[in-house]
Structure 1
Amino acid sequence: QPNLSRRPNWKVFETGTKFVFRNLKIHPFSVPHDAYDPVGFFFEWGGDDLFNPYYSLAWVTDLGFVPSLVRERIKEAKILVIESNYCQRMLDEDTKRPWSLKQRIRGRHGHLSNQTTYELLESFTDSNWDKVFLMHLSKDCNDVETVRAQFGKLPGQGNRFDTFIVDPINSASIPI
């Protein structure tokens, strides 16, 4: 850090304990992934007055399945950012990844497939979501068109919430 032109304003936190950083209320929660203490986040801000309305955002990536605690956290968010990491077929056909890595990716402490994320979103009939962002797409085992084809038929999409794909190549968010 001595070579940085400006010292970052770090905040050390404990998973499961809410804290405030600048104007954000942050609640980190555990997610199942093969790393040390992986977390998702629930952010809240605003609500002070008419010109600063209340917003909330849930951020969940790097999880192999969605336990009930994660379901509870993401349901309340106005904005959901969630991974749709891989297409099952593309992962099966990938020749660069050994079988053991493929098993890790699709395991309970790996990543969410397009199908798993689709089924999760479909299972919520009473979420607060205005927007859903599908992100953390594998560059080798997923692509924007595959995700668009899968999620374009999602019930609630367009009338309950708008869905966007975050393109891993150019980082643009693309509406479905």
Structure 2
Amino acid sequence: MEIFVLASGSKGNMTYVKNDIKSFFVDAGINLKSIESKMQAYGEDISQVDTLLITHEHSDHIIGLKALLKKGFIKHVYLTKGTYQALSLDVKTLLPEKHIIKADVPFKLFDYDCLPIMLSHDANEPVGFRFDWNDKRFVYLTDTGYVDASYMDVLKDADVYLLESNHDPKRLLDSRRPFQLKQRILGMDGHLSNEDAALLINKLTKNKKATWIVAHISEECNHQFDIEKAIVDHVENLLNIQVVFASQEALEGIKI
């Protein structure tokens, strides 16, 4: 399995996953021109990708959806009922075969075993994902105020985590953002802080080494140094994680 981050952050989010048999996108939060150029940079043929999974309907996850669907090569779209209902009518009319999924109900995606994970975010039924293929596991979790403790067993011991470390609370509170936006981000339906993310990754990687793709990093309210400090402060075995920082630039593929 290979994981390619096309973009990550408040300006747009999209990931490409492939194995020897099948490939798919998670979200479409950048414009079509960027999708095409980044896939070309990876040496990948965008027209061979016929499947898209959508985590939720916020614009930084679906801004490129309409244009992507118009190209005609996406044949399968997986999303929750709530996400589907939140899409605009013009996008709904373009959807090819849609597959309604539900948190905690596993499904097969070709030869991948997929488990949608319930998130806590101010969207209409958002989900993350656990992908299993052969003996490899990839966990995709962004845009959530917290991760419920009941998920620890199903999320632990993955090979790769694409997990958000969105903000440093002090930088956020000191920023010029509106107070209501600060409250939203800090709340249970907002985003994981650096400390939240580091504490979570520490729990999930106690028994196995993993790669952490640090995702959805706020450009205004975070800094790599703050994330690294949280990791040092809260991860018990620093040798258990390889840390890779995602951004709006295409990220070299990670193979597991």
What TM-score, normalized by structure 1, do the two folds share?
A: 0.80
Q: Is the 8 A contact 2:166 2:216 kept in 1?
A: yes
Q: CA–CA distance in 1 between the matches of 2:106 and 2:166?
A: 28
Shift of 1:155: 2.4
Larger CA deviation: 100-109 vs 131-140:
131-140
Deviations for 1:56-102, whole angstroms, at most 9, x for unmatched residues? 0111111111211332332142222211000112101111x111110
Cross-structure match for 1:170? 249
Cross-structure match for 1:100? 180
Larger CA deviation: 27-36 vs 62-71:
62-71
Q: CA–CA distance in 1 between the matches of 2:141 and 2:165?
A: 10
- Write 1 or 2 for the structure with the bigger share of helix: 2
Shift of 1:171: 4.2
1:121 aligns with 2:201: yes
- Structure 2 unpaired stretches of 5+: 1-65, 79-98
Cross-structure match for 1:79? 160
1:151 aligns with 2:151: no
Of residues 149, 153, 161, the one that matches 1:68 is: 149
Query: What is the SS of the residue equivalent to 1:29?
Result: strand
What TM-score, normalized by structure 2, do the two folds share?
A: 0.57
Residue type of the partner of 2:130? F
Aligned residues: 163
Superposition CA RMSD, Å: 2.2
Higher relative contact order (CA 8 A, sep 6+): 2
Q: CA–CA distance in 1 between the matches of 2:205 and 2:218?
A: 28
Larger CA deviation: 112-121 vs 6-15:
6-15
Cross-structure match for 2:102? 14
Cross-structure match for 1:40? 128
Q: CA–CA distance in 1 between the matches of 2:230 and 2:71?
A: 44
Shift of 1:38: 1.0
- Structure 1 unpaired stretches of 5+: 47-53
Q: CA–CA distance in 1 between the matches of 2:155 and 2:163?
A: 9
Q: Is the 8 A contact 1:75 1:129 kept in 2?
A: no
Residue type of the partner of 1:64? G
Larger CA deviation: 10-19 vs 59-68:
10-19
Q: CA–CA distance in 2 between the matches of 1:135 and 1:7?
A: 25
Q: Percent same amino acid among aligned pairs?
A: 25
Query: What is the SS of the residue equivalent to 1:41?
Result: strand
Q: CA–CA distance in 1 between the matches of 2:232 and 2:244?
A: 10
Larger CA deviation: 145-154 vs 73-82:
145-154
